[in-house]
Amino acid sequence: MSKPRTRKRWIAFGGWVILSVSVILMAFLLLRIFITSSTGKGNPVLDAITGIITFGILLPFAQWIVIRHYFPNSITWLLVSLLGMLIVYAIDIAITTIGILPIQGAIRILSLTISYGVIVGFAQWVFLRQYVQNASLWVFASAIGWGIMAMTTGAIIEGLLEILLFSALPAISTGVALVYFLSTMRRSLGDKEIPV
């Protein structure tokens, strides 16, 4: 492994984590503003709109800024990520609004966060499997990062530092998977010249 390539991978990791944490932090803050400004409870419609915009559009876009340098046809990343997020909210609406399961509050947030990690991770796997071996590791990294964040944020988060630390969990877990994929990508693409 040459030093410039290794350095590029860790720069990608740093960009991935910083951009992902920024969007996740923004989502937490927006949701907190909406909850505080309304009745003190979450508004499911406002939650869904905020979630789709931040986690379905802005987060994949921030991640795309990093991966576009490494994967051909990377615009597909945005589409599969948005599709995964729409599936997450369709399930959430079916469960909470229609009343399939009466879950609210912290349990709803927990289920949304874990399902985001699994479902969007799976949607992103559809993109990654074209380019990397062991792409299923992505679903695992996404589920672990978002799952740990969900389990540790079951209580109300009070401070900005807590939000920052919790939002780093999925960014770091998927960032490590990204670095692993970038280190194995040349072999999986048959040694084609790509800027890894």
Provide the residue range defining the domain that includes 63.
3-184
DSSP string of 64-94?
Answer: HHHHTTTSTTTHHHHHHHHHHHHHHHHHHHH
Residue segments in the chain with a per-residue pLDDT below the cut of 50: 1, 38-39, 187-188, 191, 193-196
Token pair in block for residue 58:
């802005």
Domain-embedded: residue 196: no
Residues 6+ apart with CB under 8 A from 190: none
Q: What is the pLDDT of residue 195?
A: 47
CA distance 196 to 186: 7
In a domain, residue 50? The reply is yes
Residue 19 is encoded by which pair of tokens? 């951009």
- Report residue 76 as tokens: 């597909």
CB atoms within 10 A of CB 32: 13
Q: In one letter, which amino acid is 66?
A: V
Backbone CA torsion sign across 11, 15, 16, 17: positive
Percent of the chain past pLDDT 90, that is, above it, reads: 40
Q: Residue 60: inside a domain, yes or no?
A: yes
Report the domain count for the chain.
1
Within-domain flag for 190 = no
- Distance (Å, rounded) from C-alpha 120 to C-alpha 79? 11
Nearest alpha-carbon partner for 34 in 19, 22, 51: 51
Tell me if 191 is assigned to some domain: no
| Position 71 in a domain | yes
Residue 104: per-residue pLDDT: 61
The 8 Å CB, 24+ separation contacts for 186-190 are 187/133, 188/131, 188/132, 188/133, 189/131
